[in-house]
Amino acid sequence: MRPSTEVAQVEAHDAHDAHTDTIVAIATPPGVGAVGIVRLSGPQAFAIGRALFRPARRIPESVYPPSHLLTYGHIIDPNSGEIVDEVLIAFLRAPRTYTREDMVEINAHGGPLILRRIVELALAAGARAAQPGELTLRAFLNGRIDLTQAEGVMALINAGSDAGRRLALRQMQGDLSARVQAARTAALGALTRIEASIDFPEEEVPPPDPAELGDLMAQARDEIAGLLAGAESGRILREGLRVAIVGRPNVGKSSLLNALLGVERAIVTPIAGTTRDTVEEAAQINGVALHLVDTAGLTATDDPVERLGVERSRTAAREADLLLLTVDGSQPLTELDGQVATDLHALLGEEGAPVILVMNKADLPRAINEEEAQALWPGAPVVHTSALERAGVAALEEEIVRMALGGAAQAADALVSAARHRDALRRADEQLAAAQATLANTLPLDFVSVDLRAALEALGEITGESATADLLDRIFAEFCIGK
């Protein structure tokens, strides 16, 4: 029986005809640019590249094409000899390439017409158009990267913040893979000991020590627990933090949004209820992407338009990762302040998003103290701001990052960011817990091995050892063509 890694790769090879054809794609974004890149990969890449390229000076056949060097010349139509573009071309000899196949990269002028024409010539010469992510898929199939590293490539391309970029880069470089493999190695060690005693009884292989098996399974679960502990921070680093600014009307929520953005985005007037709908904007704080949502004041109203805005504010609060409950520090708390807090408690429940109490309008004489403000949300940190003068905004930004990430923006555990990885880790942990329970109940070791295999299968889904062709199709379909 083939190992699961080999089975997965054979299925993927059959599904994608890897290694049997040469693919071509434009690797730069659509639109006009100074430079555009066309990539070829596969067994005929060099032959097609040589057919389309005419070097500007004669190169001795013994060293042509030179590997990993840019060569100046022209792309021509092989049938007519017409010059299509002036280019720099690189012939990249396997295995020192992105796909571990022979590759050709043509650096042409970045006009869409030119790039399409080069692709057409390559297709006519025997290449086929690449599917989305097919170059990275070949890198995975050829063993250059595993599945988490492949996903890290796409996460790096799509990173919307410096923190997200750093997280994606660590994943692409194999940090997550190493942690998953550590858990997998421990679980595999336990399974190997069990199967050796089952498969070779005639050789008098001694039964494994239950304490040793338990230690190995505990090691695997500890590694998984560490990864899951940083999963929420990882998600925030990758996707960004959704922050809702809530409170009664006229406490300065829109002014606070403008202060956090550094631009006048929301309309601000002394008239209560100016904001009648949610206003959403993107920002970065300490490298972390924020999705800021300014909400309409939470208040009872008979106005149907304002009522709709209040309902949207409730939805924004329910979907937020963090709430900025804002009060006017220059006025005594009102009954409506208390009602807003009560509504939010009921809306969020016990497991709702964390809350920061913002005592705004600090440029005016203070009418309430922090203890009074915290009565609205016991235990919540309090930050004093003057949105008008931008005083206290830096402190608020620091508190947002601290509350949202628990100081984990750079922590080693903040590696898991994809829902697929979280789900597989939870399933692996459940199977390992079942294996531990089976072992503790002194049931036959065959039963323990069933749970261990299921745990290994789940962990293998993350790195690709047990990935099916359907899973690979779903993952790589999200990639851009040419990567």
Q: What is the mean pLDDT of residues 317-333?
A: 90
pLDDT at 298: 63
Question: pLDDT digit string (tens) for 124-140?
Answer: 999 999 999 999 999 99
Q: Tell me, yes or no, whether 133 lies in a domain.
A: yes
Residue that finishes a domain, picked among 100, 123, 145: 145
Are 401 and 426 in the same domain?
no
For residue 253, pLDDT over 90 is answered with: no
Give the number of other Cβ atoms within 10 Å of residue 336's Cβ: 16
β-bridge pairing 83-92 and 70-76: antiparallel
Q: Tell me, yes or no, whether 237 lies in a domain.
A: no
For residue 410, pLDDT over 60 is answered with: no
pLDDT at 468: 83
pLDDT at 219: 96
Are 53 and 175 in the same domain?
no
For residue 308, pLDDT over 90 is answered with: no
Are 141 and 207 in the same domain?
no
Are 191 and 328 in the same domain?
no
pLDDT at 470: 85
Q: What is the mean pLDDT of residues 66-71?
A: 93
For residue 411, pLDDT over 50 is answered with: no
For residue 413, pLDDT over 70 is answered with: no
Range of the domain at 131: 4-145
Q: Tell me, yes or no, whether 481 lies in a domain.
A: no
Residue that finishes a domain, picked among 360, 380, 405: 405
Question: pLDDT digit string (tens) for 416-438?
Answer: 888 899 999 999 999 999 999 99
CATH number (domain holding residue 323) = 3.40.50.300
Mean per-residue pLDDT of the chain: 85
For residue 170, pLDDT over 50 is answered with: yes
Are 158 and 19 in the same domain?
no
Cα–Cα distance measured from residue 468 to residue 448, given in angstroms and rounded to the nearest whole number: 25
Q: Tell me, yes or no, whether 122 lies in a domain.
A: yes
For residue 278, pLDDT over 80 is answered with: no
For residue 350, pLDDT over 60 is answered with: yes
Q: What is the mean pLDDT of residues 63-69?
A: 89
Q: Tell me, yes or no, whether 482 lies in a domain.
A: no
For residue 482, pLDDT over 80 is answered with: no
pLDDT at 186: 95
Are 126 and 11 in the same domain?
yes
pLDDT at 161: 81
* Structural domains in the chain (count): 3
Are 136 and 157 in the same domain?
no
Give the number of other Cβ atoms within 10 Å of residue 382's Cβ: 18
Q: Of all residues in the chain, what percent carry a pLDDT higher than 70?
A: 87
Are 207 and 305 in the same domain?
no
Q: What is the mean pLDDT of residues 356-363?
A: 92
Per-residue confidence band for 266, with pLDDT thresholds at 50, 70 and 90 = very low
CATH number (domain holding residue 25) = 3.30.1360.120
Q: What is the mean pLDDT of residues 301-327?
A: 76
Q: Tell me, yes or no, whether 320 lies in a domain.
A: yes
pLDDT at 275: 45
pLDDT at 145: 93
For residue 204, pLDDT over 70 is answered with: no
pLDDT at 100: 95
pLDDT at 409: 43
Per-residue confidence band for 481, with pLDDT thresholds at 50, 70 and 90 = confident
Are 180 and 306 in the same domain?
no
Q: Tell me, yes or no, whether 471 lies in a domain.
A: no
Are 451 and 391 in the same domain?
no
For residue 324, pLDDT over 80 is answered with: yes
Residue that finishes a domain, picked among 372, 405, 438: 405
For residue 267, pLDDT over 60 is answered with: no
For residue 412, pLDDT over 70 is answered with: no
The burial class, CB within 10 Å (0-12 / 13-18 / 19+), for 265 is middle
Are 160 and 253 in the same domain?
no
Q: Tell me, yes or no, whether 140 lies in a domain.
A: yes
For residue 322, pLDDT over 50 is answered with: yes
pLDDT at 276: 44
For residue 13, pLDDT over 80 is answered with: no
Are 111 and 74 in the same domain?
yes
CATH number (domain holding residue 167) = 1.20.120.430
